[in-house]
Amino acid sequence: MSSPALPLKILETIFDTLAQDDPFRSSLKTCSLVCKLFLELCRKHIYASISIDGRPQLPIPEPTAAAFVRLLFSTPEIADHIRKLYWIILLEDFDEPSLPGTLEKITKLESLIIYWPLERIPEWCENRLRTGILHLMHLPTLLRLEICYIQDFMFTDLIPCIHLRELGLDCTKPLETENFTFSSTFPSKPLPLHRLSFGPGSSTAISKIIASLRPDSTPTLFNLSALPSISFRLSQSDDVEASRQLLQHCSQLTDIDISIDSSPLTWKGLAKMVNPSIATLTRLRFLIYTDDDGTGTNDPLGGLIAELEELRHCQNVIAKMIIDVHVAECSEGDDWGRLDRVLTQSSGWSKLEHPIPETVVQQIRCVPP
């Protein structure tokens, strides 16, 4: 079929608009069958985000690593369109001989999320995929990196990530023998991070970052004093203490996101945790997950109201506060009623959006069992 007579710029705009309303790319895939020109224009959207997940138990199968290799072998130009890669690494992926070279065909990646195998865990520093993974991590286009379940991660592998804006560590631990406190290999400037995120079980990674800071507060790989956004998901007491220590080194945060997975963790000490950034903090979000313990006495807001009262008496510039509660069953408690009273005080929240609770407490919901 001959190509349409519409100008190329108009066609590009049409497909760019279509891609925004076509999350599953079904319409784009149909359009790509019309002609070669449509195929080229649709490919950049169809293959912009790639998911590799060969787990057999998935209800809807995802492409395997072997299928990914075949795809880029048959159509190597697709690699130019890949901007996001979500990869659940399986043990069999390490036995795919062409996979590292295939990964190196990708040159414009912006976001990389990798989940390391949980069984018979390969070493991060010595495995057959390392060259391909490091190639992706060190691309000058990479802006977001999230690594999950790696038990011997080397922070020095982040040194070449000179344009990285977001870093996420989830259930990831550093290599115990790595010492990069005063490494001579550090770049002249720290990573230009805009957001740092920690999932459950990240206390040792947080401690390693703290240990890397110089006594004179000169930035090394991480410049915590200039970091604007941070996120924690706390599931253990060690996570709470590590995050508290880390926040003491952050003085210019504008956005803090804290999640608590379950009791017996409480919000006690929250006000002091965020106090180093109290002059710059404009957005504060609390996400609470509480499992039913069979008694219905868990109060997910336990301790939070007292901490908000303490924050209210600090000179703060908080403009937006979000409290998102996910519980199966909990005590009604006095704190639920006190929450509204604390946030509607005329003094102490000079910048907080009103009215309350429509814009401030956006989501408080109990999820039925």
Q: How far apart are CA 204 and CA 197, in angstroms?
A: 14
Q: How far apart are CA 143 and CA 163, in angstroms?
A: 6
User: Residue length, the chain?
Assistant: 369
Q: How far apart are CA 85 and CA 136, in angstroms?
A: 10
- Tell me the mean pLDDT per 10 residues along the chain, length 369: 66 74 72 74 84 84 90 94 95 95 97 92 92 97 96 92 95 79 62 94 91 71 92 91 94 95 78 95 87 56 85 90 73 64 78 56 45
Q: How far apart are CA 1 and CA 214, in angstroms?
A: 65
Mention every residue, 6+ apart, whose C-beta is less than 8 A from residue 10. none
Question: Could you tell me how far CA 191 lies from the centroid of its own chain?
Answer: 16
The pTM assigned to this predicted structure is: 0.85
The answer to whether residues 47 and 83 touch, using CB atoms and an 8 Å cutoff, is no
Mention every residue, 6+ apart, whose C-beta is less than 8 A from residue 245. 206, 207, 210
Q: What is the pLDDT of residue 3?
A: 54
What tokens does 82 get?
């890949």
49-53 and 283-290: which strand pairing? unpaired
Q: What is the pLDDT of residue 78?
A: 92
